[in-house]
Amino acid sequence: MKSRSQTHLNFFALDPVVHLVLYDNFLPFLISSIPNTMRNTELFERAQITTPGGVNSPVRAFRSVGGVPRFITRASGAYFWDAEDKRYIDYIGSWGPAIVGHAHPTVLKAVQAAVELGLSFGAPTEGEILMAEEICRLVPSIEQVRLVSSGTEATMSALRLARGATGRDKIIKFEGCYHGHADALLVKAGSGLLTLGNPSSAGVPADFTKHTLVLDYNNTQQLEDTFKAMGDQIACIIVEPIAGNMNLIKATPEFLKTMRRLCTEHGTILIFDEVMCGFRVALGGAQSIYDIKPDLTALGKVIGGGLPVAAFGGRADLMAHMAPLGAVYQAGTLSGNPIAVAAGLATLKLIQHDGFYELLSQQSAKLAQGLTQIAKTAQISFCADSIGGMFGLYFTEQIPTSYAEVLRTDKEKFNRLFHLMLDNGIYFAPSAYEAGFISSVHDDAVIQTTLTAAEQAFAHLSES
């Protein structure tokens, strides 16, 4: 009888043609039969050797909620699967882009067709024109637009454009609004009403943020007072009209209307950061809901359909300041990448189907209202809110309206809920300060599965 080692050696001694046939036909089967040893914990430990914190974007590390992050291997529709092949109902949707669900056949087909023509050219393509035309058609405040590769690029460039067009240095942002990791925007509030902002990240010199004023979100009086004191020095206001990075917080109509009036009166540029809420809450973005026309808008996430595309645009006279026409410089080697543009265009077409946003809003509301009722039954201080395809979860009696109110919510209870739901295959954002997202394929069955898991989770919370 031959030993196992002899058999193994004889296999490799076979005729090369026979060897290739066996390799092609049986290797996939052999690989699929090997137990998966690349578990989430093992992958996380391995990742931390070569990547700071083991992740390429901080919130993925689960530092806020504790535990081991899930390493995702595939996704389809409303679900994704981790390295242990556990399935989760996904409520982050790649942090917004997956509005039509993961791996939508129409989007995949568009990407596959584009890939066959080449990955990147560093030269103009017709797809870029089609994308620009579609954005300008869907968002009336945008007369011209420039494509970039990330939301940070979009907001950073809009900021530079506002300063270049006005010749002013000072900008206003609001506590709790995140506009990417550009130096001038990584700012926390100063100690007083008109105190300039302080850097909120190491590596950002105070000189870079000394022109940034940080005010309270939804505080109309602060706006009035600030413009009264220094309105002629302010280049722009940048704001998330519907915030998603201090959880879901909606601006009040009065807040945004006051902002628009003051900017018009003082020649200040109003920038709506709709990287997150653009095409997420309505076809025309948050600005269509509030019926307010900003001067510039930053977009991202949905317009890439899951691939890296973002944009900034607005009034044509402002955009004329951009190089090569004007003196405000901005460039990007991969801006308008043909593969990403193809995914984005396919997604933008899908969200224009009749009833798309009505269904999206309906499903978000079912989730928010269902969770609120379950918590009430369990006698837990909790509420939820939603708009379009976004929702927020808060362990507090009332829906917060500012960053300070968000900080007063019960973070520890959220962390416990997060893990209870995760154990039951429900993946919420791993932070009490992040909005959640649903897609058009989060149907009634998906929502009901989530609420059933929530009943168990809240019951557990009420007992402990």
| Active-site residue set | 178, 273, 301
Whether 427 and 70 have beta carbons less than 8 Å apart is answered as: yes
Per-residue CA distances from 301 to 93, 98, 278, 298, 458 (Å): 10, 8, 8, 11, 32
Cα–Cα nearest to 421, from 67, 43, 23, 59: 67
Q: What is the 3-state secondary structure (H, E, C) of 224-245?
A: HHHHHHHHHHEEEEEECCEECC
Q: What angle do helix axes 444-463 and 356-377 make, rounded to 10 degrees?
A: 20
